Amino acid sequence: MKGPAIFLAQFAGAEAPFDSLPAIARWAADLGYKGIQIPTWETGLFDLKLAAQSVDYCDEVAGIVADAGLEISELSTHLQGQLVAVHPAYSELFDGFADPAVQGKPAARQEWAVQQLLDAARASARLGLDAHATFSGALLWQTVYPWPQRPAGLVETGFAELARRWLPILDAFDEAGVDVCYEIHPGEDLHDGVTFERFLEATANHPRANILYDPSHFLLQQLDYLAFIDIYHERIKAFHVKDAEFNPSGRSGVYGGYQGWLDRPGRFRSPGDGQVDFGGIFSKLAQYDYQGWAVLEWECCLKHPEDGAAEGAPFIQRHMIRRTEKAFDDFAASAADEATNRRVLGID
């Protein structure tokens, strides 16, 4: 495992040191991070179109990051990936994710989003990255609760269409040698293990269709996030270290009652302040020899983001496990001897 790294999306802004890549990279390095995950929609930090076209620009970006003593963990297209598939019910709400030139034009917006993903594949390859973070988008989310009853075949048709939209993108990432890591997330059609399996089946188990593992979203769904690693570890290629807590009451539960983040039973917290068992998670990932980055994603309704960022690097560092190369009881081992083994078994 590599890390700690930090996702810059929640920190990028108009004020120093969050307004330029050199400054925010130095800020992250000073906090103890070794990597940064770059949100590609933040044009003040990164020019995705130029990166897809120019080796020189990618070398410049890599140089800026290296000068701060960091690496790029992944590029992110969470917002653009969302726009690959948008149900009309959410069209206006998601319009702000797109370039102003295509806002209010769903077909043009989707075409723009797909091109952004294709650019991200090329940019990731130019930067020497092997994983990419994104969302799947959703055509079915408004039917997540089965009332009114879903028509027969609706789910299958939805996943077939989602796969049709993503397959050219997945093929482009395959050509670039980069894994697409879908953050399994409410609001996306890929929001749990079952829906990820539906997508895999619809894409003929595409080798580049993989997972960004974020346990906070699983805790809020009351899904077993440790067992999830046992089941899907071969597809987990990216990891967000984000905490959450779920405190149901007699007034509200999983659905939250339309309350804001501060008042809803399920809410995100800074790592260590919530209920996620990170000791168990890091142990599971070490058990399966996870090779990717551990990336802090700060989202908390209580703690100041700069405090969360400052605490995040040492939190991740404490939890990272360097895998042992020998068994703890090797000191008592005896050399292999077939005759001895047969006598021990009583078959001599």
Provide the CATH number for the domain around residue 238.
Answer: 3.20.20.150
Q: Looking at the predicted structure, is the pLDDT value of residue 129 above 90?
A: yes
**Section 77-87 average pLDDT:** 98
**Section 292-297 average pLDDT:** 98
Q: Which of 167, 87, 81, 82 is nearest to 117 (CA)?
A: 81
DSSP calls for 261-308? TTTSSEEEE-TTSSS--HHHHHHHHHHTT--SEEEE----SSS-HHHH
What's the pLDDT score for residue 60? 98
**Per-residue pLDDT reduced to its tens digit, 259-269:** 999 999 999 99
Mean pLDDT of the chain: 97
Minimum mean pLDDT range among 63-77, 203-217, 272-286, 324-338? 324-338
d(CA 188, CA 204): 20
Kindly state the DSSP code that residue 347 receives in the 8-state scheme. -
Q: Looking at the predicted structure, is the pLDDT value of residue 325 above 90?
A: no
CA dihedral 14, 20, 21, 25 (to 10 degrees): -70
User: At 145, is the secondary structure helix, strand, or coil?
Assistant: coil
Q: Looking at the predicted structure, is the pLDDT value of residue 336 above 90?
A: no
Structural domain for 326, as ranges? 2-345
Q: Looking at the predicted structure, is the pLDDT value of residue 335 above 90?
A: no
What's the pLDDT score for residue 330? 77
d(CA 136, CA 117): 11
**Section 201-211 average pLDDT:** 98
Higher pLDDT, 335 or 52: 52
How many structural domains compose the chain?
1
pLDDT confidence band for 151 (50 / 70 / 90): very high
Q: Which of 189, 203, 199, 181 is nearest to 78 (CA)?
A: 181
What's the pLDDT score for residue 327? 81
Within a 10 A sphere around the Cβ of 21, how many other Cβ atoms? 20
Higher pLDDT, 326 or 208: 208
Q: Looking at the predicted structure, is the pLDDT value of residue 179 above 80?
A: yes
* pTM assigned to the model: 0.96
**Section 220-229 average pLDDT:** 98
Q: Looking at the predicted structure, is the pLDDT value of residue 157 above 90?
A: yes
**Section 336-340 average pLDDT:** 88
d(CA 226, CA 271): 17
Which residue blocks in 144-224 are alpha helix, DSSP H? 154-176, 193-202, 215-221
* Percent of the chain with pLDDT strictly greater than 90: 94
**Section 134-161 average pLDDT:** 98
Q: Looking at the predicted structure, is the pLDDT value of residue 331 above 90?
A: no
Which residues on neighbouring strands pair with residue 35, listed in sequence order? 5, 71
Q: Which of 159, 168, 237, 161 is nearest to 199 (CA)?
A: 159
**Section 282-304 average pLDDT:** 97
pLDDT confidence band for 333 (50 / 70 / 90): confident
> Kind and range of the H or E element at 132?
strand 131-134
Q: Looking at the predicted structure, is the pLDDT value of residue 282 above 90?
A: yes
User: At 60, is the secondary structure helix, strand, or coil?
Assistant: helix
